[in-house]
Chains A and B, each alone.
Chain A
Amino acid sequence: MSFGTLGLIVMVIGYAAGASVSLLAPSDRAARVLTAIGAAVGGIGGSIAAASVLITRVPVETTFASLVSAAGGIAIRLDPLGAFFLLLVAIVGLPATVYGITYTGEYEGRHSLRLFGLMFNGFLLGMSLVPCAANVFTFLFAWELMAITSYFLVMTESQHAETRQAGLWYAVMTHFGFLVLLPMFLMMAPGGGATAFADLRTHAALMSGPARNVVFLLALVAFGSKAGLVPLHVWLPRAHPAAPSHVSALMSGVMIKLGVYGVLRVVVDFLGAGPAWWGGLVLAAGSISALTGVLYALADNDLKRLLAYSSVENVGVIFLGIGAGLVLHSYGLHALALVGFGAALLHTLNHACFKALLFLATGNLLHEAHTRNMERMGGLIKGMPQTAVLFLIGSAAAAALPPLNGFASEWMVFQALLSGVQIPQPDVAIGAPLAIGVLALTSGLAAACFVKAFGISFLAMPRSDGAARAREAHWSSRAVMGVLAAGCVGLGLAAPRIFDGLFRIAAGLSAAASSASPPAVGSLWLAAPNGVAQVSPLLIAAAAVLAIGVPMALVRLRGLEWRRADTWGCGRIQQTARMEYTSSAFAEPLRRVFSELYRPTEDLSINVHPDSRYFVRSITYTSAVVPWIERAFYDPVASGMRAFATQVRRLQGGSVHLYLLYLSGALMAALVAAWWFK
């Protein structure tokens, strides 16, 4: 038995045991620990399987034809692409599991931790099985397991009306995606009950052009709704804040990435990429998501919602990579196309790492400051210095600062987009620079966004009592965050080596491009083949260490002393928290520039003394962003549904005879129909 098979068995048993044993736990405390043990064993098994497949490059295959034989049985095939995503589950899943042991402590006695353990392990199992699935039934089963368990995890704090609403949005959007998945698979199935992915792949190659286009569009909508592409992103900024923080880390770090997996699997693997407009459409969707995501993130004061919008942005960046790859593939530039797909995979990995770190750190802030609103935080660096440093590393990675990992992957997406200029076609010549511009703008805005996220929450003076009393979280949660932060640095430094591996995974997807060799630039330089520029994260890091280390060493050698002093207070004698820069104030210039997008509502009320209007008692300023994009898309749907439901309610007359009459009428109609179409 190979390591791959063994790992998969351990994985399934671990998660299944974690789910069932935690349900039988004698106490809440035991449930917390048992949940974590099961999830940890499952995660380790999953990473063994994934690592063995990634190293040996030999897929692991098993089928259980007798299990649910009516639907084609359970079929497992873990190839390098699947193994990459399975590894992603473990990379985020293990830290989130350990973090959850202490984090769920506050739920003791308030929520059922036994059911939580069942759902948590079920969620991890579902996410792990999606990339292992090798037939339609297994895929849909795992997909639905993941969707349903995550719904219950989002609903953990269902006593809040906001959470219940988030759950509704999430359930509707995820099932909408499922509804679109079914016809997509049906169209690719060759008929005769064959639903194995291998059959789908051979049949997809024989399909007519229009049918392939329809499958592509369905795949983009179905997986885009899971990944959070605008305008299908509406559930993200609702569900991520509502879920417990380590669940948010898993949803944002891994679950939405399975949408990326789906697109790569169906569009690149099954359909073998397609005409250039497919890539153009993906590029457009990615650009819009990246820009809208980061702009909404900038304007938000809720830290978790900010991170959720930032996930929309990063998914946009990933889709920019995929889109660039599809365009280049359609023009026969296979090696460059693989740079695009490889960059998308690299950003998937990097985003999982830093976003998980940021969500876990935010969980600590929420736990201490008892609010998600940044306007009520501030000065947290004094109470929780280690969390602050870890959050800063995550923010710097999210802002794509070199030499951290976010930089490496965005750089490679840039390289893929820049390669587009080699195509002498007017539409590409216009589209590629536009996408480059959008990506550049997005990167800049993301940097501003994370300056705000870190600065407003951690720096200056505390704006509330909770923030003033904040203390460091349990050492175990800081330790796992440390591991993720080390991952952010390590993935950044080792990016050329990792990119090389991801390039090979992408090469395995497309038969046409399988012969393309990765750019031979060693482990030092990040560059595309025939690229115009190259960059080395390792050298940048070395330069940065030198730039800080040499002056420090000089100071030491010369025997100069460190001096601590107050920040310059603009000459004011007493500083209060009310004088500080606020989150809204930080975003105000951008709110003006992009007022057409935000359409902010502003409300200024000044309470003056009755005797003289020059004596102001208080000023209240509130400003809210109107999410008109959501309203434009979803209000007609919602009102249509409501009108339809009102019409349907008329059927309910309240009379038993009426209902019986419906029943008889339906029977008669069925008989007449059978007679008519005999």
Chain B
Amino acid sequence: MVADPLSQLVMLGSSGMLLTALIVLWRKGIPAYVTAYRWQSWLLAAITATVGYYGHDPQLYWVAAVLLALKGIAIPALLRTMQRRFGAEREATPYVNTETSLAIAGVLVLFAYVIARPWMTITNLPTRQGLPLALALLFVSLLIVVSRKKAMTQVIGFLMLENAIALLAAVGTYGVPLLVEFGVFLDALMGFLVMQIFVYHIHETFDTIDVEALTRLRH
């Protein structure tokens, strides 16, 4: 089977993005998470540009450029500032320990392949190999959000979730129009800014960014 280069490249990029999400599951330091996120965003921009190149859609270059500028540079920079302030707090005791997390992630990837099978049979896009990987990335990001305690980790989990959705859109529809991409991206940006404020407030109120402390708010 000689797969065409677009399919190969999309597979490669999507796998890379999934790998960066898995890094978050087995590393404990927050600087590593920021790096992983930056790599993931660059890969996303690269995939978008690739799809644009093979699909002859120059609009996607703009999308890729914006992704690179905001997700690949601006947000990681903001995350760095946050990390410099709260970075000392490591993800020492997550709800689910590293080994189990990785096992669950493996199951989730399998699950994504099962779920995506009917989808892959009805589409013949050259990028369809990326679909299960995008779904897997989505599930793994959710796992990060659910199982990790520090607010910073959860923010990164949310951003990766957003990347997963962008990847799903890129490979599932062969590139989304610029306008839609902008809408989704602005949503995510707003979410990120709100969360950033929350993280500061949590830290101010509880002297930690451990989200578990929020349980004390219940009465």
Contacts and interface: CB of A to CB of B under 8 A. Distances in A.
A441 B149 CA distance: 73
A573 interface: no
A657 B211 contact: yes
B146 A657 contact: yes
Contacts of A654: 214-215, 217-218
B115 A671 contact: yes
A160 interface: no
Nearest to A672: B115
A667 B111 CA distance: 13
A667 B215 CA distance: 24
A678 B114 CA distance: 13
Interface in B84-115: 95, 111, 114-115
Q: Which of A653, A656, A671 has the most CB of B within 10 A?
A: A656
Nearest to A675: B115
A663 B141 CA distance: 13
B218 A664 contact: no
Given A661-B146, A664-B142, A664-B146, A656 B214 contact: yes
Contacts of B217: 654
A560 interface: no
Nearest to B217: A654
Contacts of A605: none
Contact of A657 (B95, B139, B218): B95
Interface in A629-678: 652-657, 660-661, 663-664, 667-668, 671-672, 675, 678
B116 to A, nearest CB: 9
Contact of B212 (A655, A663, A668, A672): A655
Q: Which of A652, A657, A664, A671 has the most CB of B within 10 A?
A: A657
A172 B99 CA distance: 52
Contacts of B214: 654-656
Interface in B202-219: 211-212, 214-215, 217-218
B118 interface: yes
B32 to A, nearest CB: 22
A354 to B, nearest CB: 54
Contact of A660 (B114, B115, B118, B146): B146
A659 to B, nearest CB: 9
Nearest to A661: B146
B147 interface: yes
Contacts of A657: 95, 146-147, 149, 211-212
Nearest to A655: B215
From DSSP, what is the main secondary structure of chain B's interface residues? helix
Interface residues of B, number: 18
B21 interface: no
Contacts of A661: 146
Contacts of B34: none
Contacts, number: 36
Contacts of B118: 675, 678
A655 B142 CA distance: 16
Q: Which of B142, B143, B212 has the most CB of A within 10 A?
A: B142
A677 to B, nearest CB: 11
A667 B115 contact: no
Nearest to B147: A657
B145 interface: yes
A675 B114 contact: yes
A664 B138 CA distance: 10
A666 B115 CA distance: 15
Interface string B176-219: 00000000000000000000000000000000000110110110
From DSSP, what is the main secondary structure of chain A's interface residues? helix
A672 B145 CA distance: 21
Contacts of B145: 660, 664
A678 B95 CA distance: 35
A656 B115 contact: no
A654 B218 CA distance: 6
A661 B146 CA distance: 6
A667 B142 contact: yes
A650 to B, nearest CB: 13
A587 B95 CA distance: 70
A672 to B, nearest CB: 7
Interface string A217-231: 000000000000000
A652 to B, nearest CB: 8
Contacts of A675: 114-115, 118
B162 to A, nearest CB: 15
Contacts of B212: 655, 657
A675 B116 CA distance: 8
A671 B113 CA distance: 12
Contacts of A678: 118
Contacts of B147: 657
A656 B217 CA distance: 11
Contacts of B114: 675
Interface string A477-497: 000000000000000000000
Nearest to B151: A656
A668 B111 CA distance: 10
A675 B140 CA distance: 19
Contacts of A652: 218
B202 to A, nearest CB: 10
A663 B138 CA distance: 13
Contacts of A663: 142
Contacts of A655: 212, 214-215
Contacts of A660: 142, 145-146
Nearest to A660: B146
A671 B168 CA distance: 15
A657 B153 CA distance: 12
Contacts of A667: 142
A173 B202 CA distance: 44
B211 A656 contact: yes
A675 B120 CA distance: 12
A203 B214 CA distance: 58
Contacts of B115: 671-672, 675
Interface in B134-182: 139, 142-143, 145-147, 149
Contacts of A671: 115
Interface of A: 652-657, 660-661, 663-664, 667-668, 671-672, 675, 678
28 contacts: A654-B217, A654-B218, A655-B212, A655-B214, A655-B215, A656-B211, A656-B214, A657-B95, A657-B149, A657-B211, A657-B212, A660-B142, A660-B146, A661-B146, A663-B142, A664-B139, A664-B142, A664-B143, A664-B145, A664-B146, A667-B142, A668-B111, A668-B139, A671-B115, A672-B115, A675-B115, A675-B118, A678-B118
6 interchain residue pairs of minimum CB distance: A654-B218, A664-B142, A660-B146, A654-B215, A661-B146, A678-B118
Given A652-B218, A657-B149, A661-B146, 15 more contacts: A653-B215, A655-B212, A656-B211, A657-B95, A657-B146, A657-B147, A660-B145, A664-B139, A664-B142, A667-B142, A668-B111, A668-B139, A671-B115, A675-B114, A678-B118
